[in-house]
Chains A and B, each alone.
Chain A
Amino acid sequence: MYDFAYHKPTSIADAVKILAADPDAKPVSGGHTLLPALKHRLNQPSALVDLSGIAELRGIKREGDTIIIGAMTRHGEVATSDIIKSAIPALAHMASTIGDTQVRNRGTMGGSLANNDPAADYPAAAMALGAKFQTDRRTLAAEDFFQGMFTTALEPDELLIAIHFPVPKKAGYAKLKNPASRYSMCGVFVADGAAGIRVAVNGAGPGVFRQEAAEAALSANWSPEAVAGVKQDPDGLNSDIHGSAEYRAHLVTVMTKRAVLDAG
């Protein structure tokens, strides 16, 4: 790791002030992506702004038909929250499949979404449920927030504060895990909710994407059989040591079927 200065503000306003004053400063939440990157010297921030002292960034609450999750909420808290388990069980289930217990005890929803790793889980839930991203200065729709591999609409000094998930009528998630890291080889989140019927795919492409053919099929007939014939075009999908683009395209159909089964 290169050297950096360290700040631990206790309010969102102070954190944003520090970030605005220093364009090379970076926020750190769970550190489970950023610290390995720093150890590999892939990144050289002048300062780290530790978000773990900001109470406003934590917690899970329900307001009407929306679940609001603070950016610093750990994956383990999402997986075990009674509020989430009763309102959006598929989201709690998704959180329980991230990495392992040690990772879930540190990694945060905000860190994962701000990082937008193509193999990360949460982007598919946010996209399928039509989540809103509340930052220190604006609110963004999922479609506008995610901008491709490891890229989001966040400005360098902009903090993700909370994610607002509309409670769906039903939702389901299925993923094929990389057996070592548990990152998604291909995961599919299906939802019938405020944003209509949506099918969002992680792990398979360079970023989360919606599978519109599957959405149309499920809108006509919500059943695993209805999506069995959906063919994903492998063009542009990820191809690496873990699997070819054709294999991942096949998984899109299989995982969509399983996600519909999971949703019930």
Chain B
Amino acid sequence: MPTVSATGLIIRGTDWSETSRIVTLWTREFGKVRALAKGGRRPRSPFESALDLLTLCSIVLIRKPGGGLDLLTEARAVERFVGLRQSLTGLYAGVYVAELLGDLTQDDDPHATLFEEAVATLTDLTAGTPPRMLRLLRFEMVLLRELGYAPQLEACAGCRGELVPGPGLGFSPAAGGVVCGRCRVPPRGWRRLTPELWLALRQLVDEASWKQVAAAARRELRGLMDGVVTEHLGHRPRSAAYLRDEG
């Protein structure tokens, strides 16, 4: 069976037995991977203490063909994002990143760009700049784009018609983006799209201008993003209730 090396972020961990752990990793090379770490709960294991949530590690895996559980033979922590543990806002934003990576991606479907974005996000969340809520919103936008769920912002997501600014304009997670006045159905999650919110959304998708999103728009964006993520996930993320905006 092939032994491979990879770099991955621990996004889930459960104790499997008195001494072993099952971890889910978001790896650069293979995408989402689930692996058994035998002896992973012992203090002097080949994993040291690299198997904690939100640890970036370099790993050695024995891949099991046919979707079985891989075997983790080595893990060494590369970055622990220690600063995350000093701020509840940062810590739970990090847990939210882990939850989305775990629940929105498929096994063995690598997205190197999304891997880099996740690591960059955790680095920024640790530092606290740009504002953590804005950083998280940008991560979510990149995640949606990478997974093929980018919201439609430039034409009506319902009828593909031109969007005329005005009070009828809205955003619909179910339709997949901005909708015109005639496309208010399906109403699920529909919200009015003010010119400020529309601008903020366009800034958020743009690599060059996402940091310019107005602080006042973040609350509305949070609610909107919550709706979009819930739509794709089929339920609200468990850690969403823990997210805070420090202002």
Whether both chains belong to one complex is answered with: no
